[in-house]
Structure 1
Amino acid sequence: MKLANLALSATAGLSLKATSETVQGFDISNHQATATEGTTFTDKVFSSHYQGATDAGLIRGGYHFALPDSSSGAEQAEFFLKNGGGWSKDGITLPGMLDIEYNPYGATCYDKSAEDMVAWIKDFVDTYQKATGVYPLIYSTADWWKTCTGNAGGFGSTCPLVLAAYSDSAPSTIPGDWATYTIWQNSDSYKHGGDSDIFNGGYEQLQKIAKAE
């Protein structure tokens, strides 16, 4: 995933457990819904996808594919903010999402120790929060988080978790100090294209995240 568009619409605050109410969503971009990657890549189709989601009445937001070995977390957060990753309290814009996962170009943990990786993520998160007033979502997998951060806590009370776990059953392994996932990416082949995302709650709860309530 890169700077992309995460869009959700109703099919049925942050939940503390998997709920019976859910909201279906999907990722769309050059590679699903990316807006930015590192400090050099911007998705050329992001704007059209983003506007299309808006026109369709979807709650949407952009995400940034992290490359922790190329520049600092602050630099990448600033690049993201300048290229579609901002937030506004309009009820339809989710806080931006940090996609931190397996390195498609090299070492799984980007040649960083767990301590350095956690510091990099915190640098990104703090920079984004200072600029927008809200904390970004964090996208990852339980395995990557355990391998590359030492299963670090410190983000569970502020950054909603978007957990990738391709399965027919909701994930039971939750990384770090998150109580549960906020959004579950359950498949990379949604019926309308892109990845499939399921919000862990009802539509009104999703709107509260978009409004930072």
Structure 2
Amino acid sequence: MTRPIILHPATPAELVTLILHHYWHPTTVIVGSPKQPFMEAFIYEVNALPEETLPQIRRKTLLQTSVSRHIRVAFAPTVTHLRGFLSVFTQSDSRVSPPPHQSQQQQKRNSQQPLLIAYGFLEVHRMTTEWSAQGLGTSAGSLVEAAMRNGFRAAIVEPRGGGDGFESWSSFAEEKAPVLNGTVMRESGAWAGRMIEVGRILGRWFEIERLPDEEVIT
């Protein structure tokens, strides 16, 4: 099996476009947020962009309709929800069926290893007691184990842009987290105790997809 991967950050619409173009049933997406905010962000983004920017999403083609019905999506607004979903994840209990009448290209894509994508993996941990090497490592291990158990390839995609202005994996990788869960934050807003870069934490499990000029902490 190929090594788990961290894909380049993407907006909700870019994530959907990525799946439409490159992945097929039974690829599964776990969104690290409640359903409503994700859908609102997706709809706002699509409506705000010129039609030629995201034509494959704006135009309700038969392919898009088919894919939307055959890609499994789950919402995990907390770390507890995320780990709970991963602990019982199995493709056999999915109600999402494979698309009918696949073309030769689609069949080739379908024969490749599907992804188990955690979208907003860091976001769901940030500003919680699980924002630490210990907490992130526990969740990353659960994601990788659930993917391997079902013949999937584990993947992480972080939201691009937003209030923090993250545009690349490097901007996430350079963030620091405490080593242990429950580390106290000082009045200054800085964490107490030893800190470690997020890129080093996740680099134990994941291969990094990056742009040619993007440096990543290893």
TM-score (norm 2): 0.41
**Pair member with larger Rg:** 2
Normalization by structure 1: what TM-score? 0.41
Quick check: which one's helix share is greater? 2
- Where relative contact order (Cα < 8 A, 6+ residues apart) is larger, the structure is 2
